Amino acid sequence: MMKQTLAQKLIAAASGRDTVAEGEIVTCSVDLAMFHDSSGPRRLEPMLRELGATIWDRDKVVLVIDHYVPESDDESRRIVRIARDWARSERLPHVYDSQGICHVVVPQGGHLRPGMFCVGGDSHSPTGGAFGAYMFGVGSTEMLGVVVTGQIWVKVPRTLMMRWNGRLADGVTAKDMMLHLIGRYGMNGGQYQAVEFCGEAVRALSMPERMTLSNMSAELGSQVGLVAPDETTAAWLREVGVTEPLDVQRWHSDEGCDAEWYDFDASALAPQVAAPHSPANARDAGSYRDIAVQAAYIGACTGAKLEDLRAAARVLRGKRLADGMRLIVAPASMKDQAAATQEGVMQVLTDAGAQVLPTTCGACAGYGGSIPDGATVISSTARNFKGRMGSESAQVYLGSPYSVAAAAVAGRIIDPREVMQ
């Protein structure tokens, strides 16, 4: 039998075949369709009504209301009302309303497992690849087809193997790995390709850190960002309540499969920061040490999970913000915020002077008005496009939660290892 990459195995299974070849176009059955208040009901409901069509399988649909909450104006209230009304009328069994960001809430709800084939109505849907699932983002028209038929076609992509050898140094994170990759290869470096992250450093990462790798594969331009599942994956899924058998042995790339290999030394990686207005403008954090910042943002599915909050607290414990600094923290989910509160992490952040915002997409998606006009900002989010965070005049730098917290204390960008505890 032809040796297969993990991406090929997942596509083959979804298309009812033993193997698939790069470049083939196949029709796949969808195990899960996720969308949120911005991408979902307000666009899907009118099209479904016009077609007289119904949802193919309600149990395979997850709706997360995370973009326009808490509602701040009439337009937000209208969009959220549409989502809530549609969820009730369709009797959707899996709805997460104001519980956190979709890419974090969905796996925390036990909806993702190795071997699944999933689509999401959001560009960061590749986050699901951290669990050994083939998951990618689609637009509303493609999502309509999925919701009605339960199927979608894909072209089998080439796989780029990003092998990270060695171990990350203390204070260096998956966010730094991704900024380094994007800085090196650009935002189209994996265009319509499957990226698989592997190697000793990747195997050593926790699931939240693996989620960051897969999440930001979107910024690399790839369709999916995969991590082969292992016992770390299984243990995490058991903790969130998954009880069904998990096959973590099957979903691995075959040795000797046809793929492009790239090698990196994790032990040599320094904390990374990306300058405005692209994640591709990434260099070592020390390169930007003369850049003064007025605001720091720890938020989004990329940078405000429990481990991210812990990282920021490690830097901020016993310290205060620099004069004139504003630190905004928007945890990625209610579950993560509750755990951080129980551990005392949230208290450390607020004692340092952080302002805590709701567990939503918030400023990452340009909502909430928390990014000051004209300010220089450092953020743990995935993107720093001009105007992305709401303010057209803000200059946004990207970094890990360590780097964001360190800049909040120093008043300028620094290598966070200088102030870590």
Q: Which residue ranges form the domains of the chain, and what is each CATH number?
A: 6-265 (3.30.499.10), 276-418 (3.30.499.10)
Residue pair 100/398 in contact (Cβ under 8 Å)? The answer is no
pLDDT, tens digit (0-9, with 9 covering 90-100), for 225-243: 999 999 999 999 999 999 9
Number of residues that this document lists for the chain: 421
- Residue 369 has a pLDDT of 67
Distance in angstroms (rounded) separating the CA atoms of residues 161 and 178: 14
pLDDT, tens digit (0-9, with 9 covering 90-100), for 107-117: 999 999 999 99
Distance in angstroms (rounded) separating the CA atoms of residues 209 and 215: 10
Strands 194-198 and 32-36: unpaired
pTM, two decimal places = 0.97
pLDDT, tens digit (0-9, with 9 covering 90-100), for 120-155: 999 999 999 999 999 999 999 999 999 999 999 999
Distance in angstroms (rounded) separating the CA atoms of residues 410 and 378: 12
Please state, in angstroms and as integers, the Cα–Cα distance from residue 353 to each residue in 48, 300, 318, 347, following that order: 48, 20, 11, 10
In the chain, pLDDT over 90 holds for what percent of residues? Answer: 92
Per-chain mean pLDDT for the chain? 96
Distance in angstroms (rounded) separating the CA atoms of residues 413 and 292: 7
Residue 370, pLDDT above cutoff 70: yes
> What 3-state class would DSSP assign to 28?
strand
> What 3-state class would DSSP assign to 418?
helix
248-287 burial, b at 16+ Cβ within 10 Å, e below that, comes to beebbbeeebebeeeebebeebbbbbbbebbbbbbebbee
Q: Which of 128-142, 283-297, 382-396 has the lowest mean pLDDT?
A: 382-396
Residue 173, pLDDT above cutoff 90: yes
With a CB cutoff of 8 Å and minimum separation 6, the contacts of 335 are 99, 100, 105, 108
Tell me the residue type at 341. Answer: T
User: What's the pLDDT band for 169 if we cut at 50, 70, 90?
Assistant: very high
Tell me the residue type at 403. Answer: S
Question: What would the mean pLDDT of 399-412 be, rounded to a whole number?
Answer: 98
**Structural tokens at position 23:** 């470049």
With a CB cutoff of 8 Å and minimum separation 6, the contacts of 59 are 93, 94
User: What's the pLDDT band for 18 if we cut at 50, 70, 90?
Assistant: very high
pLDDT, tens digit (0-9, with 9 covering 90-100), for 324-369: 999 999 999 999 999 999 999 999 999 999 999 999 998 888 876 6
pLDDT, tens digit (0-9, with 9 covering 90-100), for 179-228: 999 999 999 877 789 999 999 999 999 999 999 999 999 999 999 999 99
User: What's the pLDDT band for 421 if we cut at 50, 70, 90?
Assistant: low
- Residue 191 has a pLDDT of 77
- Residue 192 has a pLDDT of 83
